[in-house]
Copies of this chain bind each other. A is one copy, B any other.
Amino acid sequence: MSALSDLETWEPRYASRAARMQASEIRDLLSIVEKPGVISFAGGIPDPALFPLDDIRAAYQAVLASDDRANRAMQYSASEGDPDLRDWIVGYMAGKGVDCTRENILITNGSQQGLEFLGKLFLSPYDTALVGAPTYLGALQAFSAYEPVYDELRLDDTNRTALSYQDAASEAGGALKFSYVVSDFSNPTGETLSLAARTHLLRLAGELDIPIIEDNPYSDLRYDGEPVPTIQSLNLQACGSINGSRVIYCGSFSKVFTPGLRVGWICASEKIISRLILIKQASDLNSSAINQAVALHLAERCYDQQISKGRASYRLKRDAMLKALSAHMPKGASWTKPEGGLFVWLTLPEGFDGADLLQKSIAGFGVAFVPGRAFYADGGGKNTLRLSFSLPDIENIETGIRRLGALIGEVATPTP
């Protein structure tokens, strides 16, 4: 009786949500792409060549220099986060058109933890979350643990009325809880929501009276064009105060500095932040105090310089990828032309299967990417691929896209 009577039967012991948290076939495929020699457009992770290592070393040294400060950096700390770091973020958010105070800021372990907390705060089983198709895979993973239903947020389709969303949510057996978007240089498509789409979203969310989660980790990595005002800033212009805002903004230091610190934040009305602090406390008490102190040290000294470095380097890589796509993609393929961020989204003719293509590509062409289907809540997007240009160097971008073009040209389009 000491061992579990039948280990195969752990399954029935799990919460019902565990059924929504399965390992994905795509993730299994991607686990084999770390092989040397593979050119990977899969990751979507920042280029370590851009990490400000000397500044990082200096930051850790400074934070640990005096015993008093080192002891604070090594102790438990406030669940809401370091007050000085939150104050720096208040200044940063002002630059995004958002007037707020530190009471509006919660520090999270990267923006991923922000998404997890928001799922936890809002979603009961059968509630509806409005998400794009495609949308950020990590958001789907964070939300799915809370067993929602997804409905497709369409911002270019004026035929989809507020009432139609509401009816669908009622039919699904729960309430409409929030809409979720990556506003700038979205993961996975690289596209930026236009001002018109943002205005449409605010109007729709107003009609539905639901919050908008604005996930914006890539915002500072703009290579061309003019910034579009954040959705939160547009909302503040209308409602007057962050504490009356329906927009919940998720930010991160992972793309501009380094993901190793695991420091991100949520900016929202005090009422919501006070709820999220309780969730943070129950989840992991607080984010690492030393990493928050280091993030602040870096933010105060070299945020702008890091943005410039990132923009200059990624711009060249994006240009190289777009040029290679033009040169090597067969007719019928189309792709996004992002003004920033880390991703290009490739759409192939109907009939292509990204997962099948990935297998062939790794086996015979040494090129990896993410099949687009992973980013669809409804399993669509079979004929799409996400290509990240952040990690490979320019020569490998050219080589990789050439090989990928050759593969796509070779694969006979199956009958749809």
- CA–CA, A120 and B177, complex, Å: 20
Cα distance, A15 to B46, chains bound together (Å): 34
A138 at the interface (CB under 8 A from B): yes
**Contacting pair B206 A244 (CB below 8 A):** no
Q: Which of A1-9, A300-308, A395-403 contacts B (4 or more CB under 8 A)?
A: A1-9
Min CB distance A214 to B, Å, is: 14
A70 within 8 A of B: yes
Interface stretch of the complex, out of A71-79, A153-161, A331-339, A369-377: A71-79
Contact assessment for B285 and A288 in the assembled complex, using a CB-CB cutoff below 8 Å: no
Partner pick for A235 among B2, B279, B284, B287, CB 8 A cutoff: B2
- In the complex, what residue of chain B is closest to A286 when comparing beta carbons? B262
A65's nearest neighbour on chain B, judged by CB, is B57
Contact B1 A74 (CB under 8 A): no
Number of chain A residues close to chain B: CB under 8 A: 93
Is residue A18 contacting chain B, with contact meaning CB distance below 8 A? Answer: yes
CA distance A294 to B256 in the complex (A): 23
Q: Does A347 contact B (CB under 8 A)?
A: no
Nearest-neighbour CB distance to chain B for A277, whole angstroms, equals 8
In-complex Cβ contact of A262 among B2, B108, B116, B287 (8 A)? B287
Asked whether any CB of chain B lies closer than 8 Å to the CB of A133, the reply is no
A238 contact set on B, CB distance < 8 A: 2-3
**Known contacts A60-B60, A110-B284, A261-B288: does B120 contact A15 (CB below 8 Å)?**
yes
Quick check: is A327 within 8 A (CB to CB) of the other chain?
A: no
Pick from B3, B57, B271, B282: contact of A239, CB under 8 Å:
B3
Q: Which residues of B contact A244 (CB under 8 A)?
A: 3-4, 7
Residues of chain B with a CB closer than 8 A to A209's CB: 1, 4-5
**Residue A358 CB within 8 A of the other chain:** no
Pair B210/A13 contact, Cβ less than 8 Å: yes
Contact A67 B45 (CB under 8 A): no
Given the known interface contacts A138-B285, A145-B279, the answer about A177 and B13 at a Cβ–Cβ threshold of 8 Å is yes
Asked whether any CB of chain B lies closer than 8 Å to the CB of A283, the reply is yes
How many copies of this chain? 2
Q: Does A141 count as interface, using CB distance less than 8 angstroms?
A: yes
Binary per-residue interface labels of chain A (106-137) against chain B in the complex, 1 for a CB within 8 Å, 0 otherwise: 00111011001000111110010000000000
Distance from A74 Cβ to chain B, minimum over Cβ atoms (Å): 4
- Verify B64–A56 contact, CB threshold 8 A: yes
- Interface core residue of A75, A282, A286 (most chain B CB under 10 Å): A282
Q: How far, in whole Å, are A261 and B110 apart by their CA atoms in the complex?
A: 16
**Complexed CA–CA distance, A271 and B48 (Å):** 34
Chain A residues at the B interface, C-beta cutoff of 8 Å: 1-5, 7, 10, 13-18, 21-23, 45-46, 48, 51, 53, 56-57, 60-61, 64, 67, 70-71, 73-77, 108-110, 112-113, 116, 120-124, 127, 138, 141-142, 144-146, 175, 177, 202-203, 206-207, 209-211, 235, 238-240, 243-246, 254, 258-262, 269, 271-272, 274-275, 278-279, 281-291
A selection of 24 A-B contacts at a CB cut-off of 8 Å is A2-B206, A3-B239, A3-B245, A3-B246, A4-B244, A13-B177, A13-B211, A14-B122, A15-B146, A18-B275, A45-B75, A57-B61, A76-B254, A77-B260, A112-B282, A112-B283, A112-B285, A113-B284, A120-B145, A141-B281, A144-B282, A145-B279, A260-B290, A291-B291
